[in-house]
Chains A and B, each alone.
Chain A
Amino acid sequence: DAGITQSPRHKVTETGTPVTLRCHQTENHRYMYWYRQDPGHGLRLIHYSYGVKDTDKGEVSDGYSVSRSKTEDFLLTLESATSSQTSVYFCAISETLPGGAYTFGSGTRLTVV
């Protein structure tokens, strides 16, 4: 693997609680991304980062926030979890843009009950 880990791998949480997912990389790549995967929708971009403290929104950013205080860590926070945020969350890294090849983490399966 390219040195990208996600934690936790599985989580069950209650509606209304905050949840933080972590993505950690050891590749010193500049770009990091959070995607969610849902049946019938493929992978959709939530937020991405192009450097420390530099982040931007993707197509499905409502209800999510991110932070990147170090190159190696990119955190995704669900401010108040809802059932519609039940999904599989993937983190990805890329060294360069344009044209950088993406490497994905193993995913976090989040269930909001």
Chain B
Amino acid sequence: GIQVEQSPPDLILQEGANSTLRCNFSDSVNNLQWFHQNPWGQLINLFYIPSGTKQNGRLSATTVATERYSLLYISSSQTTDSGVYFCAVEEGGSEKLVFGKGTKLTVNP
């Protein structure tokens, strides 16, 4: 099955810093989503982005499907950005998302 690798596994920032999270996948996909799991465990869908670039406030994401990677950018980080960020992909015809193991982000005040 498809493999999803996220990097870095852990990231510690000071408030106000920018960061880039990466997601590599091993095969072509027709669905790619980014999620944020907050410290209380809730999973929030950030982006549905099988290709191209999207922006939502301080967050933006880019997926280059032909090169099999996606990037999540967080600008001017805040303590509320802390948590785990997951990338998930759907292989063509599989009807299900496969998750990476996540990047744990800690933003210190």
Contacts and interface: CB of A to CB of B under 8 A. Distances in A.
A54 to B, nearest CB: 11
Contacts of A104: 35, 42-45
Contacts, number: 60
B102 A42 contact: yes
Contacts of A35: 99
B25 interface: no
B50 interface: yes
A48 B41 contact: no
Interface stretch (A66-74, A75-83, A95-103): A95-103
B101 interface: yes
Interface of A: 31, 33, 35, 40-45, 48, 50, 56, 58-59, 88, 90, 97-104, 106-107
Contact of B33 (A31, A42, A101): A101
B97 A50 contact: no
20 contacts: A33-B96, A33-B97, A43-B86, A45-B98, A48-B95, A48-B96, A50-B95, A97-B90, A98-B95, A99-B31, A99-B48, A99-B50, A99-B90, A102-B35, A102-B45, A102-B97, A104-B35, A104-B45, A106-B42, A107-B42
